[in-house]
Structure 1
Amino acid sequence: MDDRDVRLLKAISELGTGSPERLHEETDIPVSTIHYRLNNLREAGVIENDCYDLDLDALGLGVTVILEVLTDYSGSHEDVADDIEAIEGVTQLFSTMGETDYVAIARLHDGDDVGRLIRDFETVDAVERTNSTYVIDELHEDARALGSYSMETLLATLTDDD
């Protein structure tokens, strides 16, 4: 990647769009060059999709629960992860080292769903116990990770130094 690629990715992160016209307005990179570079970034696997981000609060999924999950690993690690991922409302799952085996994030409609979520975790054979944290107020979430970095850091970290 070079500085134009990084500038495009940062602009996508900040604008929330991959529109070549909007990216041109933000970066002054020619639209034809943007098309070419976006295709190359897709082929390289850097850009995975063209999804629209959703405001889950506005959609009605405003309850966030963070679950630390301890398992007995009686099955394979992948099977346990698959069982947890299949629980309705689980939007993120991380395999961790330390006292917990997994950390799951769930986005739910209301408080009644929290009880259902916990019961669903109890049905997974490998789950020994969970420690659930009900989020009171979301202080910061950046669905586009590049937004938390300065352009200087991104250029220094991500560009090729040939």
Structure 2
Amino acid sequence: MDERNIRILQAVAELGTGSPDEIAEHTGIPKSTVHYRLTKLKEQGVVTNDLLDVDLEQLGLDITVITEVIAEYDDQYHEQVGEQLAAIEGVNQAYFTMGDTDFVVIAHLSDREMVHRLISDYEAIDEVVRTSSQFVVETVKDESRPLNDFSLETLLEHTADMD
């Protein structure tokens, strides 16, 4: 995996498209090169489908860390702390939750050094009181398209009121 491939994959994620024209314009990489490399990334299994989903393990981001964050309560703390957590490099998802835990944060990382940096970055936020992190041992389900989790009948039933 070289710099051009990474730049192409970042452009796909940022732009939300696999259009060689748009990726070429965004990255400065020639359109023919973009097309060729996207085809190769699909053949290698890095890009897993026509929607351009990426296999994170193929990129070396095979450590999933789920962290519960307890923060000091204050006016609008959920927005301020949430934005700070979400801005940390490697954080893919951040949720403000109800109950004993204030936030749940999910990150995909490559090694212990990245995990250590991530936890240090969490704890550097003044309002963060405590964190508790777990490593995922095996992913049982990771559905990036939630509509796949429902039957057609259920979706029709629960969206009928929206018409």
Smaller-chain TM-score bracket: 0.5 to 0.7
- Cα distance in 2 for residues equivalent to 1:161 and 1:90: 33
Shift of the alpha carbon at 1:114? 1.0
Shift of the alpha carbon at 1:161? 8.1
- Cα distance in 2 for residues equivalent to 1:98 and 1:132: 17
RMSD of equivalent CA atoms: 2.1
Mapping of 1:46-85 within 5 angstroms?
Answer: 52-74=52-74, 76-77=76-77, 78-85=79-86
SS in structure 2 opposite 1:117?
helix
- Cα distance in 2 for residues equivalent to 1:74 and 1:97: 15
Is 1:101 paired with 2:102?
yes
Q: 1:161 to 1:84 in 2, by over 3 A?
A: closer
Q: 1:127 to 1:75 in 2, by over 3 A?
A: farther
Identity of aligned residues (%): 46
Task: Give CA deviations for 1:50-82 in whole Å, capped at 9, x if unaligned.
Answer: x73222222221110000000013463211111
Gaps of 5+ in 2: 1-16, 18-50
SS in structure 2 opposite 1:159?
helix
Find runs of 4+ consecutive structure 1 residues off by over 6 angstroms.
none
TM-score scaled by length of structure 1: 0.63
Is 1:86 paired with 2:87?
yes
Q: Is the 8 A contact 1:73 1:80 kept in 2?
A: no
Task: Give CA deviations for 1:14-44 in whole Å, capped at 9, x if unaligned.
Answer: xxx9xxxxxxxxxxxxxxxxxxxxxxxxxxx
RCO higher in structure (CA 8 A, sep ≥6): 1
Aligned length: 113
Is 1:120 paired with 2:125?
no
